[in-house]
Structure 1
């Protein structure tokens, strides 16, 4: 793996309730990371405390060594970094209390020019609704989700199907599950393949969605599934 590989994290803090997604190099030190997070959250780097949470949102460890790198701490994509700043008032960058009073007394133009306002902070760091790329991505994902959900309505349970996923060989099987799952957002189709070309037995992380032998089960997006007359490959109609 390259030392410059980027790792994507969810960033949260005690300073603001805003959550954001950011990528940092594996070889960045905790000291350097605090400088980046100061711009992102408004927390003071000299008093900043960092906690690393796993994908299950359980505390993995506290990031205390300023010379340690993210790579040396076994950080992975999908983890969460929580920023704690005991010197900053909780919710300082939230649009409430004094912030709302300031905005009420000012014109919109004056308010936008005020350096320490929430608007200035969010605009500068491209957070929340001010992150145009994130908002576009969010809208695109929402539209894709609607298309997948509509597609799923036309996939009958227990029907024969053919699954086509980019970069993988075409597989055949039976539709065994249709609906939402705990490990990903959106609507998914659970398929029992005719051959052991899957990834599971119909369960993921201990939660079962359907029954099938090990390595015969898989979950795919509705757009990858075509239902129809797809008999098991290799079967001869003249044989019983």
Structure 2
């Protein structure tokens, strides 16, 4: 049975940060903070969710902050407050504080853009069909270096059966990632990678592509996965995808996210001790 790594006791400061990050949204704000939605007269498809605003901010300052979200100048808009039912509560005046209008979480500020020359007028920020597309002639494109067309031509010279999909799968394998599902389904050889698997045994220390270290816990075939041989690895850190099981079938036991199954060609066995994340700090003491 595998030994679970010890859990480090969090300091009070670390626990406070953890509680803040894990807490509900409503708990992570000051008493004077209100979460308001924002809509815009020229933006029919864009809706800004839960913008954090302070009740002590003057409306003029609120408009300046909203300018960073929607681009409308603070001097060119009118601001209206709506309740959660869509009813107008009030038009907001620049010299008043936001709290004067008694907004609460879930209310909506609606920006009316009065600038006829605004970038958002006429749908320019949402309708991509209005944007002039970049065009280039065939002659100019062919004269360029490092284009996809030239890249494809070079790859086809090396391998007449090359495809972009094969290239992506090859790069995924090099990075320690599994190929796409339709690529895996093409493997019909039941002994796929048997030779590579024969050099790996349970208990070996290993390093999986991508620099992930761990211990080999299983070598063999897995009916729940595509045909061929697989290696089950218990990682030293939570960089895996499971707890040693595949679709409910357990092949070895470990903590969740500490287990993974990879093809043998992605596993290198040898002297790969567990890395100490604090080793560099000890040199500085």
**TM > 0.5:** no
TM-score, normalised to structure 2's length?
Answer: 0.33
Which is greater in Rg? Answer: 2
Which structure has the higher relative contact order (CA within 8 Å, separation 6+)?
1
